[in-house]
């Protein structure tokens, strides 16, 4: 008999990890922008595979919140994360469409849509 070596197939931790979620409140203003920036900084240091920014309860976004959102999404992208923004409010969604955010990052209507997209991406990554 020949010696058989067990080969392990390395799995990337990020491919199997659950997505991190940052929930934004009803109003994304200067206070929320600061909290969001801190959360993004902590997350980016961990290099998650995917992040959901849950704005499903957000009714208004001021310039501080919007600027923080764009900066945070770029920081997460630089850290290797794929970001999904959940945006249910039509007015906030129009802002994202008008400014091009929805062309740079995935913007979906429901949290379940973001989770489904992540599951599909993870399944594709594991299959390849």
How do residues 85-108 score in pLDDT, each as one tens digit?
999 999 999 999 999 999 999 999
Is 11 part of a structural domain of the chain? Answer: no
Is 4 part of a structural domain of the chain? Answer: no
| CATH assignment at residue 53 | 3.30.750.24
Is 43 part of a structural domain of the chain? Answer: yes
Is 2 part of a structural domain of the chain? Answer: no
Q: Which is more confidently placed, 9 or 115?
A: 115
pLDDT tens per residue across span 28-82: 999 999 999 999 999 999 999 999 999 999 999 999 999 999 999 999 999 999 9
Total domain count, the chain: 1
- In the chain, which residue ranges form alpha helices assigned H by DSSP? 13-16, 30-46, 63-78, 90-99, 101-104, 111-127
Beta strands 50-55; 20-23: pairing state: parallel
Q: Provide the residue range defining the domain that includes 65.
A: 20-127
């Amino acid at each position: 008999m020949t010696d058989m070596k067990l080969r392990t197939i390395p799995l990337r931790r990020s491919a199997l990890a659950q997505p991190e979620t940052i929930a934004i409140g009803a109003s994304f203003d200067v206070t929320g922008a600061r909290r969001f920036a801190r959360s993004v900084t902590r997350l980016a240091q961990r290099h998650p595979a995917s992040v959901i920014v849950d704005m499903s309860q957000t009714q208004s976004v001021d310039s501080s919140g919007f600027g923080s959102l764009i900066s945070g999404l770029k920081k997460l992208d630089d850290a290797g994360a794929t970001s999904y923004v959940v945006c249910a409010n039509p007015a906030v969604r129009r802002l994202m469409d008008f400014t091009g955010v929805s062309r740079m990052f995935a913007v979906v209507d429901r949290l379940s849509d973001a989770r489904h997209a992540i599951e599909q991406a993870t399944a594709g990554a594991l299959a390849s």
